[in-house]
Chain A
C-alpha cells in the first residue's frame, strides 16, 4: 500500500517538476522590458553596451537556443551568469545569501510558531477568561500594525535612541571577530530586531488558529470522559494539545516550504543579506538566470515540503490513511 502511495506521489511530483521547469523559463521572459537596456538606462551606459550585453547573454539568439542553454545551466553549470551581477554566477550569489536566509527564516519560523502556539494554547485552555481576552486582543492589535512601520520604529527606538541593538546588517561591519563564539554572538545580536519585528507581526495567526482548534478539541467527548475519569488537568491538557496542534503544524509546513524564498521586506529594512532581496532585484532588472534558479529552488523546496507534510500526516494522525481508490 505504502509503495503504491509513494509511486503515485513521485510520479505526480515529476510531472509538476517538468511543468515548473518550463514555466520557469517562460514566465520571467514574458515580463516587458529588456535586461540589457534596463541596466544601460540605470547606469547611464553608452548605447553600444546594450548590444554587447545582449550578445554576451545570448539574448539575441532564438528562443529555443536560449531554452537549451537554460536547461544546460540548470543541470550542469553554476546556473549560469547573473545579468546584473555579471560575471558572477547565480550559484555563487545564491550560496552567499542562502545561509543568512536559512538562519533568519529558521529562527523566525521557530519564534513565530512557538510564541503563537503557546499563546494560542493558553488562550484556548482558559477560554473566556481575562487571559484569553488579553492574549487574543493583543494578538490582533499587534497583527494590525504595518510591518514596515513597526520595523522602522524598532530601528529608531532600539538602534538610534537607545543604541542597544544594531540598526542593520547581519554582523557588525568591519569588526574583526576573535573567535567563533564572538562571531555567533554578534550574529545573534544583529538578529534581535528583525526577529522581533517578524515575530510580532506574524505570531497572531498561529495564536488564533491554535486557540480555536484548542477550543474545539476541548468540547470533544474524549476530553469530557477524561475529566470525568478524574485525570489530573495536566494530562487532560496534554491530550487536548496533541489534537489541537494539527492546524498550526500545517501552517508551519507551508511556511517552511517558502523558507528559501527569503523575506524581502525584512531584508530590505534591516539590510540583511538574503535571497529575498536578490529575487526582488532580479525581478526589477529582469535577471532571468537568477529568477530561474530562485524559482527552481523555491519550487523544489515547496514540493519537498508538501511531500514531507503528506507523509508526516500519516504518522502524526493515525486516522489519515492513504488507500488505493476503487
Chain B
C-alpha cells in the first residue's frame, strides 16, 4: 500500500506539476511532497501559483511539522527537505547538492529510506541530474517510479539521466502521469 507520493522537477516542470495537482482528487489518501528547484531568494508566491489549480491544499512546511494525508508539502526555497519517523518533515540549510537547495536527491533518498516500497515517486523535466540518485534509491528500496518521457520534457537531462541508471515502472507523457498516479493509489 502506497503511503506517500513524491514529485521532483526543475526547468520545465511547472506545467506538469500543475496538471498533476489539478487532477489529483481532494480526498487523496497520502501526503504529497513536492521538491522543485526554485529561486533561492523568492520566498513567497510559489505556493499561491501552484494552489490556483490544485484540489488539495499546498503548504510550505516549517521544520518538524507533522505531515498528513491529503496535503501537498512544497520544499521551501533555500532549504533541503527530509522525512523522519513520527511523520515529521525536517528542513536543513546544509550545502547545496547538485547546485540545488532544495535538492531532489536528498529528499528522494530520505523518502526512500522512510517509506521503502510504499513510496510512489515521479521525476519530471529538469536541466541537471539532481534527482537521478534519488530515483535510483527509491527504485532500490522497492518504491514505484514514474519518469516523464524525455521526449515530452522541455529539458530532458533529469529524466534521461534517470533512465540511464534505472528501469522505472512507467515512462509517460506528462498528460498521462496523473491518471497513472490515481490508478496506482486506487489499486495498490
Bind each other: no
